[in-house]
Amino acid sequence: MNASPEKHPVCIGAATAVTALGPSLDTLWPALLEGRSAIGPIATRFSTESLSFHEAACIPDLDSLSPPKQSRTVELLNRCLEGLPALPSQTFVIWTGVKGDAEYVETLSGSDATPREAFTHPWLPEHYRRPVCERLGLQTEDGLELNAACASSTIGLALGAQMIALGERDTVLVCAADLASRFTFTGFSVLKALSPTRCRPFDAYRDGLSLGDGAAAVLLGREEALRSHGLPVLGRLTGWGIANDANHITGPARDGCGLIAAIQRALDEAQLSPDALGAFCAHGTGTPYNDAMELTALESVFGERRFPLFSIKGAIGHTLGAGGAIEVGVCLKALAERCVPPTTGLEHPEPRAEGRACGKTQDFPNGAILTTNSGFGGINAALILERA
């Protein structure tokens, strides 16, 4: 039997994020530590008059744009890419948004539909990767687009890490951008998944999620490839796992079987025991079923052990496909600063979250950090990051 090929360590050379709490990770991080929330009334983007839900974490100056001629999704993506350094020209690009430009797609139907040929900007997920490459001066011949619901960028990072580990690529850029659009807002409203108040992850009185605008880009690479291009090593992505619980099109398996499998695969890849993890950046949407499922999975893998658990969705909302990549950027900050931010909105932790999640900053002196995301269709993904 042939021996398994030697795997290359996977490093992170750059990370950017744009959210309703600021245009970069350097503005997002202190806002998270302060427990700030960008969730507020939707002002001018679309009307919520006929709905029971009226708030999201929107980036205010995006509302000055006039879709469909001006794409908010493209503008959000461009702002995110501005924060990147020059990248190696052979960098493989993975686009991972949940959807394309929903505001544009909505104009393609009805009696007063705007002719498709009138606009040239991207509108479907498959149309975004090439403009990203052209903007960054990268080769456009290959790459891929990945859509896996709210775990999209997490799975994109897992696939990119696998490519690097196996020596298939030297550098991989994973990027995503998603908006709190009328399309997503009304869809989650129909599912009764939105909070009529504010998102409160792991709170005993949580009542739903809040949506948010967000974009992120994360550069993965072999250390030698990053160093040779003058790029730093911000951290290491040592474990990744993907699993599907095949439970329901929108509801997670209550026993957490899919998330448990994803976490265990990530631990195996990283060659770590559960005790080696020092913090957990959870999906933490604030819905009754998601948070309960995550706590069930947490107990299954880690038993009664108590260590810092947090969610950032009470601060910036649920940014859909961009959420996982944004959270990786936050995890890099947590590793560097040796603390994790408070779970904004959390006031009364449910019993199983006590001693884990709280509304204050928690110390995180040692160990790796686990970050997970789950999505419609039963998808679950887990990543493990360690200090450089």
CB atoms within 10 A of CB 52: 9
| Residues 80-108 pLDDT 10s | 999 999 999 999 999 998 877 777 777 76
Say whether pLDDT at 244 is over 60.
yes
Please report, rounded to a whole number, the percentage of residues in the chain having pLDDT higher than 90.
73
- pLDDT for the residue numbered 108: 65
pTM of the model as a whole: 0.95
- pLDDT for the residue numbered 109: 58
Instruction: Report all structural domains of the chain as residue ranges with CATH numbers, in order of start.
Output: 11-228 (3.40.47.10), 238-386 (3.40.47.10)
CB atoms within 10 A of CB 51: 16
Say whether pLDDT at 118 is over 90.
no
Mean pLDDT of 32-61: 91
Between 365 and 344, the more confident residue is 344
Query: What's the mean per-residue pLDDT of the chain?
Result: 91
- Tokens 């779970």 correspond to what residue? 343
Q: How far apart are CA 164 and CA 94, in angstroms?
A: 13
- pLDDT for the residue numbered 1: 43
Residue of 218, 169, 175, 210 whose CA lies nearest to 344: 210
For strand 368-375 and strand 277-281, is the pairing parallel, antiparallel, or unpaired? parallel
Q: How far apart are CA 81 and CA 75, in angstroms?
A: 10
- pLDDT for the residue numbered 251: 79
Residue of 332, 367, 342 whose CA lies nearest to 202: 342
CB atoms within 10 A of CB 144: 14
